[in-house]
Structure 1
Amino acid sequence: MLAVFLSQAAPLLGQTRQQSAQKTGEEINLTADSLKVEEKGSRIEAKGNVELKRQEMILKADEVRFNRETQQAEAKGKVSVDDPLWKMKAEAAEFNLEQETATIDQGEIFLETGHLSMSGKRLEKFSGQAYHIDEGFFTTCLCESGPPTWKVSADQIDLRREGEAIIRGGTFYLMDVPVFYLPYAYFPLRTERQTGFLFPKFGSSSREGFKFEQPFFWAISKSADATVGIDVESRARVGLFGELRTILSRDARGEIALSYFNEGLRKNEDRSVGDRTIADQDIPKNRWSVFATHRQSSPLGWKTYSDIAAFSDDLYLRDIDTFVLDSPRERELRSSRYASSRFGVLRDFNDMRLQGEWAFYQDFIQPDKHTLQKTPQILFRGRRVLGETPLEFRWRAEGVNYLRKEGADGLRLDLRPEMLLPFQLFPYFPGSFNLALRETAYHLYQDEGSFDRNRSRQLVEVRGNVGTSVGRVYDLGTSYLRRMKHVVEPEMSYLFIPRVRDRDIPIFDGTDRINRRNLLTFALTNRLWGKFAQETIAVPEDRDVELVSSANVGDIREMGRLRLALSYDIDRERKGGDSLSDLDMNFRLTPLDYLALGFDTGLNPGPWQMSQAAAVFSLLDPRPLTHRVLDRDFMRPNQLDLSYRFIRRDSLAELADNANLATLSDERLLRRNIVGALGINTLFHLTDRVLLLYNTTYNARDGQFTSNRGGIKLLSHCECWTLSFTLKRSTNPDKTSFNFSFDLLGLSSQNKELFK
């Protein structure tokens, strides 16, 4: 075996390339069974087990001729190229190592990005990832044996740098069976954004009938794209939807989603309403929705923002859902009382903030004519240390203009200056004392019942707290956890607010009713901190591995926390009443980065009953995924999430079943608890190519499931298509729906997480 080291000191490349190479120490190594050097070393001929290395590229062949001056190489016999971005096999090939171009005869090329395979009688590689193929085909299927699931063959194929494929005289094949002829066609091949039709979505519902959805994706520019489509539901509606996303600059971005549906196919509208406590149960023929958001910052420091959610009717979110435009915000609104829209501007000045906001609300339960709108709300708050003293002055000034069609509305100005004095009671007992004065003034636009049009309220708030922190470090010395620190933080606080007369002022929100307080609160917090070993996770070099949960090695983080808090009401003790509040317990445990446990509860110390509780348990599979595929769902680890929420009945328990005050009845049973709900969410890789999903919500109070959703997703053996089935059963509205989705990965695939 002979070897030649080709130093960059020789004029191997053009001047631009040479300068870059000298900076990076680039070199070329050529090894072979026999080497022949001609023309004073400028031409080299190598034969037998030839291997040429240049940076991360390795060229192998039976015979190679290389010109050091032109960087031209000719390879023959079992030619192969191994590069991080692409792989190649051929009978013969010509390369220009400087320009990264090639001409390949009877070759095959595989591009790592997009898992794209292509072969042809003659292939030309241009600068970058651009190719021309004569009498060839391409596919994203990675089949070890047998024909690919799908492929496109053509007389001529051009693959552009932008990830577009243009074919002439082509045929689309399924399992080597020609399906249709393509005299001229365009395909988006990159996994990144590309304009084109996405695969249609299909489904069926017991209420809406057969469902068909055809989306189209438009890559407008590098900073903007859009999705538009048509939705057809055979027993309910026909509609259009669209979503536009754009990043105008580093400091400006926005999104807007619109939809319109015509309910001309619907029959028996009255039977479609599942909740009779909703005030407006009308289902209009023309229905629409608007979702929008934007964030923008100016060079002067001002920031503007908006979040819009508006719907044609109160039942829209319960009735209509789309496969494509199913955002987290929309899913959250499906279980909310209100839809809110806001527009605002703010500016931060060191320790101060000035903010103005307009907020509008759509009530899904009661008539909107009673709903208060904030038009606008002005907020100015800040803090400032007074000279060289320890005193800190804080302030909060808020003005709100409340408007609604019926009921009391008007202006409210709330001023709250505050003085804070930090102190050190003992060397290890820091604390603070707060004194705040509060003035709230009202002006109503019209006479409303017993409320005066101009009223004000004055309050004094006195607060104080003192606490300390003690801890101990334990040197464990294990390979995973080096040290652990246990910290105990006792704290005592006091709050006093005198009683004021406020029945002659309207109720706009919680600011308008502040009860007398004379409370002592005792709290004890235990924390466990861990310092983890400075180690890295070993990954075999010959495996394509993605670490789904990078263990937080070498860091310091909180592993667990338990906080207990109990308040003592001095006034109630004087009157012989129940002077103790619920015992609040807050527990968090994260011993591992893939395991989390949380529990919050309030215990009534009288009968020692839980008044409310919330528990969560989350477990992720820590094992790395051993194979990378184009589908995002298959790149997620196995996971299990459990949650439970409980609220015991109280005087307002009736509102849990009926929040519409206009239809509230005293005949409803008040013995039921307000909430008792169990949630389960699982994602499990049954095999490398079968993914299972199940999530459910069980109403323990009523003894029934409120929603059930299960799904299965199949990945083809060649990893180039997925098939998804989901079945969902809900009680509000009462319907069963079935959805079906098929995607060719890397070809017209939206590449969204279907099982999110």
Structure 2
Amino acid sequence: MLSGVSLAGGLAPLSVSPDLIRSPAPRLVPQTPAVEPSVERVVDVPVEVRPSSVLPAVEPRQGAATASPVGGATVTDTAGQVAAPRSQSAEAAGVGDDPVTMSETAPAPRSPVAASPLERGATQVSALRIVGVRAVELVAEGEAELVRDSRVLTADRVIYNELTDEATADGNVRLSQEDDWLIGDWARLIVHEWVGELDRPRYVFSRQSQARPGVAPRTIVGTGGADVVYFEGENRYRMVNATWTTCEPEDPDWFIRAADLELDYDREVGVARGATLVFKDTPILWWPRMSFPLAEQRQSGFLVPTIGVSNKTGFDLAVPYYWNIAPNYDATITPRLMGRRGLQLGGEYRYLSQNYSGEIRGEWLPKDRVTGESRSLGAIQHDHRITRRLRASLDYNWVSDDDYFEDLSSRIAVASRVNLLRQGRMSYQGDWWSVQGLLEGYQTLDGFGPYRRLPQLLLSAYRADLPAGLAFGFSGEYVDFKHKDSAFAEGRRTHLRPQLSLPIRTAGYFLTPRVSLNHTRYDLGRSLVGGRDSITRTVPVFSIDSGMFFERDSAFLGQSYRQTLEPRLFYVRVPYREQRDLPIFDSGRFDFGFAQLFSENRYVGVDRIGDANELTVAVTTRFIEQSSGAERLRATLAQKYYFDEQRVTLNELGKPAVEDARVRRRTDVLAAVSGRVTQAVSVDSLWRYDPFDGETQRFNFALRYNPEVGRVLNVGYRYARELLDGREGLKDVDFSAQWPLGNRWYGVGRITRSIKENRVTEAVAGVEYLSTCGCWTFRTAAHRFATNPDRVTNALFFQLELTGLGGIGPSPVNLLTRSVPGYGKINEPMSDRYFGTD
């Protein structure tokens, strides 16, 4: 139930450290460059204003005095000072009349004329009045502006020192660099180094995250204020008594308040010391050292704690610590306190290389307060690409007891796990053939479990470039089956299946005749009662698949469509071979559906090759919207006809019969209708009808109304007269929805009710809230499910998701996505309308 901030999603953790709050840095003392530029001495005589011979000046603002000080020009008279008067044209243009303000979208600066490539690095100073000494210092007053490439400094008064490249600004100071904005009272800055300070700043930083393989860049917007901000180079800032948030700057719903705040946009990491997380003017979390992501950047530290409640675990608190060991290695250590069970320790280690990747997980509960026993879990997954064609993998899982998942997990998919895979695999891929070997077993938590394969070797090949358009295929297998129960047969099975086909396809029809041979040998160490130890079976198979394509233009409700008609015939001929003395290792019946109707073998696996002399007849029609090419509706009707009686079954020697031989000459009728009828309405249905008894054997229906993200209604009905394994059928109704309740609240939920058992088998109910500015979202959901009628699990989720920071509490998003088809995260408006989001 509990999980920290997802690493795959790229959200970095909150980190905690006992670091002391760093004291404000002293004011910077700029250093004089080692090589001084050539400077002309000042004389009390008139000097002509001219552009620099080193870096040319850009065009001045109309009505303003302008200087290009680098290498420069000086404005003086015989008294040493002359003020350039404000011209009437400047007054008419209203230059500089707007006050310096802060808003959600920062005001556009007085843009300099774009510099040519040769002018890059040039400095332009402009104002209503400029006084100064050539190549030493300029004093610009009245709507003063200093421009260097994309950096712009504006203020009531700017003093610029050419020797040190230092600018000092007073009154209504505004600093901008591309999409970054800072406003304050006083500033000092070494322009080319972007080093300096700004008093009482308010800021808006808007950046795009660094591009990474598989991660789309996103815009990073952070706003706040401070007593002072220190510029520590390109993309690095440190602030004293500062705030940071992704909300609107005027009245943020949440923010981090810190005695010392560092923002490093190169590393995409923010660090706050003496930090308090404030939500709705209420402090909710304090850390001595808190780090947070400015993008999808991983970093060591504590993840946001997750809190939940379950009837199996009681109060549930997990505090994960994330360790970013290296760019391709990391680990998560998770202490978990469960009110009813005790203290559990969990860990996860992940690694990634150019040729291999993997994950190791473990959990340990020293003493369960309910059972009094120690309980644990372990899992290893590893995938290794040894060469371009050779690969190996390992998937090994285990738990200490059969009830581990049911007692300690709140997810139905996990709580109902029965067989834990233990598999090692190696494969080689050739140009037109492949081979693989594996060792496979299971830890079975309930029942006898499947066979172990120790080992299994597989070979497959396919060539479609033979003469006369022929195609050749081959599949082979050797496997040694073992079972822990002595009542089950075990032994080795070898199976070979070559096949030859002649595919013919045109725009109007297709025809594919195919012939194959199934040869199987069994060498049993433990045979069936009354059976042989060594058995051989050879069965030829012939099939022919054919179809035609017709189309016409049609119209419905004023919309033009192309309607298709696609009849299909599929014939199979397989002679009878006695197979009751062959053990069933991995074979079973196909669930009756379209896949079974167009299969050469009615059984899954190769322990049974069903005798057949049968023909499947099917027809499909599709409606394709001509304006967009989208398929709006598809309908299929199919039935299989038998020309001989069935003789091969799944029954084994010495065991009770599990299948009766078919006596009917044709199957049930299978019909399906599906499509997206409109942009908002989709339908999916399947009907299996028994024409002999006049009864419905199976019926599934699902209707979805999804006009936009956050608005979806689903209605479903499932009926089965009998399940595949012979158990009593089911009759369920299912309702799920996500819908606005008003005032930015959304309701979400699902209920599945068994009509046969007269009980609710699963229920989900929750609400979501999206803030006005979209910078935070609240979700809560309750989940109740039953793995069987006697065992019911309840779980409760609460999450506060702060945009750009992460989530506090266990996220119900995965639960809601699985439970409500079409669910969309309300704080992600681009979520897919039809498939939802994770």
TM-score (norm 1): 0.75
Paired with 2:478 and 2:765, the residues of 1 have a C-alpha distance of 49
The correspondence for 1:106, drawn from 182, 188, 200, is 200
Deviations 1:644-669 (A, max 9, x none): 43221268433xxxxxxxxxxxxxxx
The CA deviation at 1:191 is: 5.0
Residue deviations 1:521-546 (CA, integer Å, cap 9, x gap): 1111222334656xxxxxxxxxxxxx
Alignment-derived partner of residue 614 in structure 1: 700
CA distance in 2, matches of 1:683, 1:471: 39
Contact 2:332 2:347 in 1 (8 A): yes
Amino acid at match of 1:121: D
Query: Which amino acid counterpart does residue 315 of structure 1 have in structure 2?
Result: D
Q: 1:311 maps to what in 2? A: 399
Tell whether 2:614 aligns with 1:522. Answer: no
**What's the offset of the Cα at 1:504?**
0.9
| Cα offset, 1:714, TM superposition | 4.4
Mapped to 1, the partners of 2:146 and 2:702 lie a distance apart of 57
Answer yes or no: is the 8 Å Cα contact 2:271–2:292 preserved in 1: no
Amino acid at match of 2:183: K
**Distance in 2 between the 1:457 and 1:653 partners?**
29
The counterpart of 2:121, out of the listed 13, 28, 33, is 13
Aligned length: 655
User: Are residues 171 and 378 of structure 1, via their aligned partners in 2, closer, same or farther at CA, if it must alter by over 3 Å?
Assistant: closer
1:286 corresponds to which residue? 374
Other structure's SS at 2:813 match: coil
Taking the aligned partners of 2:557 and 2:189, their CA distance within structure 1 comes to 56
Q: Distance in 1 between matches of 2:271 and 2:671?
A: 64
Q: Residues 104 and 642 (structure 1 numbering): CA distance in 2 closer, same or farther, change over 3 Å? A: farther
**Contact 1:289–1:311 (CA<8 Å) still a contact in 2?**
yes
Cα distance, 1:580 vs structure 2: 1.7
Shift of 1:197: 1.8
Listed one character per residue, the Cα deviations across residues 551-573 of structure 1 (whole Å, up to 9, x for unaligned) are xxxxx543332222211111159
* CA spacing shift, 1:447–1:298, aligned 2, 3 Å: closer
Larger strand proportion of the pair? 1
Alignment of 1:393-542 (within 5 A): 393-406=472-485, 407-423=488-504, 428-472=508-552, 484-510=561-587, 511-530=606-625
- Aligned equivalent of 1:354: 435
Partner of 2:369: 265
Query: C-alpha offsets along residues 55-96 of structure 1, whole Å, 9 cap, x if unaligned?
Result: 6x7766556678999987665543445667533222344566
Q: Measure the CA separation in 2 of the matches of 1:297 and 1:215.
A: 31
Query: 1 CA distance for matches of 2:459 and 2:127?
Result: 76
- Quote the offset at 1:166 in angstroms: 4.7
C-alpha separation between the residues in 2 aligned to 1:685 and 1:68?
A: 61
In the TM superposition, residue 241 of structure 1 has moved relative to its aligned partner by 1.9
CA RMSD of aligned residues (A): 4.2
> Which residue does 1:666 correspond to in 2?
none
TM-fit CA distance, 1:215: 2.1
- Alignment equivalent of 2:759, drawn from 701, 704, 713: 704
Aligned to 1:273: none
Residue identity in the other structure for 2:695: Q
Which range moves more in the overlay, 492-501 or 741-750?
741-750
Post-superposition shift, 1:226? 3.0
Aligned-residue offset at 1:684: 3.8
What amino acid maps onto 1:734 in structure 2? Answer: V
Residue 448 of structure 2 corresponds to residue 367 of structure 1: yes
Quote the Cα distance in structure 1 between the aligned partners of 2:810 and 2:261: 28
Equivalent residue in structure 2 for 1:245, among 350, 362, 366 = 350
Q: Could you tell me how far 1:455 is from its partner in structure 2?
A: 0.6
Specify which of 86, 100, 125 is matched with residue 231 of structure 2. Answer: 125
Indicate conservation of the 8 Å contact 1:6/1:29, yes or no.
Answer: no
Alignment counterpart, residue 162 of structure 1, candidates 263, 267, 273: 267
Give SS of 1:319's match: helix
Structure 2 counterpart of 1:702, one-letter code:
E
Classify the secondary structure of the residue corresponding to 1:151: strand
Distance 1:648 1:178, change over 3 A: closer
Deviations 1:205-225 (A, max 9, x none): 334333222222233333333
Aligned counterparts, 1:1-150, within 5 A = 2=62, 5-13=113-121, 47-48=142-143, 61=155, 76-80=170-174, 86-93=180-187, 99=193, 103-112=197-206, 115-134=221-240, 136-140=241-245, 142=247, 149-150=254-255
Distance 2:645 2:529 in 1: 33
Displacement of 1:392: 1.5
Distance 2:806 2:682 in 1: 38
Q: CA deviation at 1:137?
A: 1.3
C-alpha distance in structure 2 between counterparts of 1:38 and 1:470, whole Å: 88
CA 1:688 to 1:131, structure 2 compared with 1: closer, same or farther past 3 Å? farther
- Identify the residue that residue 471 of structure 2 maps to in structure 1: 392
Secondary structure, counterpart of 2:750 in structure 1 = strand
Give the conservation status (yes or no) of the 8 Å contact 2:778–2:801: yes
Aligned partners of 2:494 and 2:775: how far apart in 1? 62
Distance in 1, matches of 2:382 and 2:550, equals: 46
- 1:653-701 deviations in whole A, cap 9, x for unaligned? 33xxxxxxxxxxxxxxxxxx42223344433454575443313322232
The Cα of 1:382 is off from its aligned counterpart by: 1.5
TM-score by length of 2: 0.68
Q: Would you say the 8 A contact 1:493–1:522 is kept in 2?
A: yes
Q: Is the 8 A contact 2:470 2:503 kept in 1?
A: yes
Identify unmatched segments of 5+ residues in structure 2: 1-60, 63-110, 207-218, 588-605, 648-660, 815-838
Query: Per-residue displacement from partner, 1:323-365 (whole Å, max 9, x unpaired)?
Result: xxx7xxxx54544553333322222222322122222233343
Find the counterpart in structure 1 of residue 318 from structure 2: 213
C-alpha contact 1:689 1:714 (8 A) present in aligned 2: yes
Structure 2 CA distance, aligned partners of 1:688 and 1:609? 49
Cα distance change of structure 1 residues 450 and 178 upon mapping to structure 2, 3 Å threshold: closer
Distance 2:434 2:186 in 1: 69
Q: Distance in 1 between matches of 2:755 and 2:131?
A: 83
Percent identity between matched residues is 20
Structure 2 CA distance for aligned equivalents of residues 104 and 518 of structure 1: 88
Query: Which residue does 1:18 correspond to in 2?
Result: none
Counterparts in 2 of 1:593-632, with a 5 A limit? 595-622=681-708
Distance 2:124 2:755 in 1: 71
- Aligned pairs (5 A) from 1:573-588: 577-588=663-674
Task: Point out the structure with max Rg over C-alpha.
Answer: 2
| Structure 1 position 108, deviation (Å) | 1.5
Is 2:464–2:471's contact at 8 Å kept on the other side of the alignment? yes
CA distance 1:687–1:82, change in 2 (3 Å): farther
Contact kept, 8 Å, 1:36 with 1:44, in 2: the verdict is: yes
Contact residue 612 and residue 646 of structure 2 kept, 8 A: no
Paired amino acid for 2:608 = R
Q: CA deviation at 1:465?
A: 1.6
User: C-alpha distance in 2, partners of 1:651/1:165?
Assistant: 57
Distance 2:165 2:633 in 1: 61
Q: Post-superposition shift, 1:618?
A: 4.0
Measured against aligned partners, the alpha-carbon deviations of 1:287-344 in whole angstroms (never above 9, x if no partner) come to: 223344333334332222344443333322222216xxx7xxxx54544553333322
| 2:812 aligned residue | 754
Deviation at 1:598, TM superposition (A): 1.8
Find the counterpart in structure 2 of residue 647 from structure 1: 720
Partner of 2:201, secondary structure, is strand
Report what 1:536 is aligned to. Answer: none
Pair 617,169 (structure 1): closer, same or farther in 2 beyond 3 Å: closer
Cα distance 1:617–1:385, how it changes in 2: closer, same or farther (>3 A)? same
Q: Tell whether the 8 Å contact from 1:195 to 1:217 is kept in structure 2 after alignment.
A: yes
**What are the residue-to-residue correspondences of 1:720-735 with 2, within 5 Å?**
723-732=778-787, 733-735=791-793
Q: Which runs of 5+ in 1 are unaligned?
A: 15-27, 268-283, 534-555, 624-636, 655-672
